[in-house]
Structure 1
Amino acid sequence: MAYRIFIGPFVEMVTIPDLFVQTVWEGFVGGVLYALIALGFVLIFKASGVFNFAQGIMVVFAGLTLVGVYEKFAAFGFSGMLAAYAALVVALAVMFALAVAVERVVLRPLVNQPDIILFMATFGLTYLLIGLGETIFGGSPKVMIAAQLGLPSGSIDLAILGGRVSLQMLDIAAAVIAIVMIAVLAFFFQYTRIGRALRAVADSHKAALSVGISLNQIWIIVWFTAGIVALITGIMWGARSDVSFGLQTIALKALPVLILGGFTSVPGAIVGGLIIGIGEKIGEFYWGPLFGNGIESWLAYVIALAFLMFRPQGLFGDKIIERI
């Protein structure tokens, strides 16, 4: 038994390297998408100090909105790429309206309230969006309009390390889009005026207000950006598995990503996402049979729990020092 746990999997990695590369690739794609989800949490947490529990359902709601609007266009005789991108514009408008509504109805009345109050408000927002989504779009899974959006299909086979590795074209597109999105967001919030304002708000709300930064505008921008991230994530995950309310469970994989990377770090979200994505795929493939398979659903949380014992602030998080 000890051999099967501590030696056997590593021997298999060395003796069948192409299979190991295939597993790492699949984990890399999942990790990049986890990082994209985690960015939505990081942006809102940096701007308001609130952990947005509703980010997962925002992914589902954005995806359902896109598909639902496209179906309405199709019912009126419009279809194809033009209708798909028109539905994409409508979905973006809906996420902007959601950002404005959250700022006006949730954040503005609760400003300066304890963080736990704001956190519980995002719980309420979660169930509101679930009820709204089920009422408008129904509870059945929907097929993502991947082909209509121009996303590729099929696969390519590469000869690597004496074997063959199959790469799904959709996975390649998802990884490229997610990487570009992460790079754009990192540049935007690091080197633009709005990004500097966001960092000022993250440091101190009162100090930001004293130099003329509008908290309300920053919150709308950040929540809308998180909505864009949710929409892109919903498209990518939905194209891989369909759009359903079960996607919010996948979105909650951002929790261990944030624990590893740090709740306020964009680079941490990227590194944490890759660690979780690749780690859970390798764990499922090589160690999963020893535990009856299915460990991919909980292994990420075990990794995060173990990590908390050694570095609770995360790889890129700031140490909290209290003087007494």
Structure 2
Amino acid sequence: MSTFINQLAYGLADGSILALAALGFVLIYKATGVINFAQGEFLLVGAYMFYTAFVVLNLPLVVAVVFGVVVATLIGVLVERLILRPMVGENPISIIMVTIGLSSLLKALVQAFYGTSPKRQPPILPTGSVEILGATVPVNRLAAIAIAAIVLTAFTVFFRKSRHGIAMRAVADDQQAAMTMGISVRRIFALAWALAAVSALIAGVLVGDISAVDNNIAAFGLLVFPVVILGGLDSVPGTIIGGLTIGLLKQFTAGYLDPGLATVIPYIVLVLILLVRPYGIFGETRIERV
């Protein structure tokens, strides 16, 4: 029982962070139709921006968080304005290749400025452990779950209640109709990229605090793809369910079967979902008539 509780806590923590990372992917896809292959690198850049503010510049924690959010927002807006906006109307394959190139560029820039060795930073999440039903669970894992839940809830309220959130939903449903209602589609595109970068920043900081600030954060971000394929490319609730499912499946596989199998099991799920239900569990089935 104690092993199960321990694996459950680790899996929920990883799944919550994955849901945060995948949220940005879904935001971009829903608003702009772009499949962003650089989402993992957004996590990497976000983690290093926070590291720069918190460790290199020695800023207070709150100021470092604000610094990271501002830089992430600027990066998201600049990527949309300078790289993706000129590609509007181009072949989708061309846009996908641009995002793949962007991922390589971001990773190369991080390695050029920070090197490839892991960076250590003072812990920002509570340390220590607690006993739950006989299992010893790290407090930082529980804190990561709580933070991810708060952020995901805040994003959900933003989409449902705020003016800009409703505008994003309108653009996602029908861009032409949104334009006739006076909604600036270009501004919504920039907002989607900015929010995606911010959600990636939070996920990257959590991963960096739990493990270390290094290039493996981008590899962790690759798990976004099984998450969004499972939950649905255009479903925010599906993102949460998909993230938790992949996190738990990966952790239970590592704990009860084989750690090596745990690294590939998310992609096995990805292939199976594509074969059985290509639009995901909660994704919208689109039928195009020609």
2:121 is aligned to 144
Q: Could you tell me how far apart the structure 2 residues matched to 1:72 and 1:309 are?
A: 47
Say if 2:77 is the partner of 1:103: no
Match of 2:271 among 305, 308, 311: 305
Structure 1, residues 91-146: CA drift from partner, whole Å, max 9, x if none? 22211221221122112211222322222221122122122222222322111342
Q: 2:96 aligns with which of 119, 123, 137?
A: 119
SS of 2:11's equivalent in the other structure is helix
SS of the equivalent of 1:166 reads strand
Q: 1:282 aligns with which of 247, 252, 262?
A: 252
Mapped contact 1:146–1:235 kept (Cα < 8 A)? no
Which stretch of the first structure deviates more once superposed, 41-50 or 88-97?
88-97
Report the equivalent of 1:6.
none
Deviation for aligned residue 1:320: 2.1
Question: Aligned residue for 2:285?
Answer: 319
Which string of whole-angstrom CA distances, capped at 9 and with x for unpartnered residues, describes residues 289-312 of structure 1? xxxx41111111112222222222
Kept in 1, the 8 Å contact 2:25–2:39? The answer is yes
Aligned to 1:183: 153
Alignment check: 8 A CA contact 1:57 1:129 kept: yes
Please tell me whether the aligned partners of residues 81 and 190 of structure 2 are also in contact (alpha carbons under 8 angstroms).
no
Unaligned runs of 5+ in 2: none
Counterparts in 2 of 1:206 and 1:112: CA distance versus 1, 3 Å: farther
| Per-residue CA distance 1:127-182 (angstroms, 9 max, x = gap) | 221222222223221113424xxx20000112x2xxx1111110011000001111
Kept in 2, the 8 Å contact 1:67–1:145? The answer is no
Query: Whole-Å Cα distance in 1 between the matches of residues 93 and 280 of structure 2?
Result: 21
What's the offset of the Cα at 1:205? 2.6
Task: State the partner residue of 1:41.
Answer: 25
Q: Which 4+ residue blocks in structure 1 deviate beyond 4 angstroms?
A: none
2:212 corresponds, among 242, 267, 275, to: 242
Please report how far the alpha carbon of residue 202 of structure 1 lies from its aligned counterpart in structure 2 after TM superposition: 1.4
Is residue 84–residue 145 contact of structure 1 (8 Å, CA) maintained in 2? no
Residue equivalent to 2:65: 88
Q: Once the 2 structures are TM-superposed, how far is the Cα of residue 89 of structure 1 from its aligned partner?
A: 2.0
Q: Which one-letter code corresponds to 1:202 in the other structure? A: A
1:298 partner SS: helix
TM-score w.r.t. structure 1 length? 0.85
Q: How many Å separate the matches in 2 of 1:237 and 1:109?
A: 33
Distance 2:131 2:55 in 1: 34
Contact 2:9 2:142 in 1 (8 A): no
Q: 2: distance between equivalents of 1:103 and 1:35?
A: 22
- What amino acid does structure 2 have at the position aligned with 1:138? G
Moved more, 120-129 or 224-233: 120-129
Check whether the contact 1:73–1:83 (CA below 8 A) recurs between aligned residues.
no
Shift of 1:90: 2.0
Determine which structure has more spread, i.e. the larger CA radius of gyration: 1
Question: Which of the numbers 35, 41, 49 marks the counterpart of 1:57?
Answer: 41
The alpha-carbon distance between structure 1 residues 144 and 119, as it changes in their structure 2 partners (threshold 3 A), is farther
Contact 1:35 1:274 in 2 (8 A): yes
2:166 and 2:66 map into 1 onto residues whose CA distance is 28
Of 155, 163, 168, the residue aligned with 2:129 is: 155
In structure 2, distance between residues paired with 1:215 and 1:132: 30
* Distance in 1, Cα, partners of 2:56 & 2:254: 40
What CA RMSD, in Å, does the superposition of the two structures yield over aligned residues?
1.6
> In structure 1, what is the Cα distance between the partners aligned to 2:171 and 2:155?
17
Larger mean Cα displacement after TM superposition, 243-252 or 307-316: 307-316
Q: 1:71 to 1:286 in 2, by over 3 A?
A: closer
CA distance in 1, matches of 2:189, 2:270: 29
CA distance in 1, matches of 2:186, 2:119: 35
Partner of 1:214: 184
- Conserved in 1, the CA contact under 8 Å of 2:9 and 2:141? no
Instruction: Single out whichever of 108-117 and 58-67 deviates more from structure 2.
Output: 108-117
Deviates more, 1:203-212 or 1:220-229: 203-212
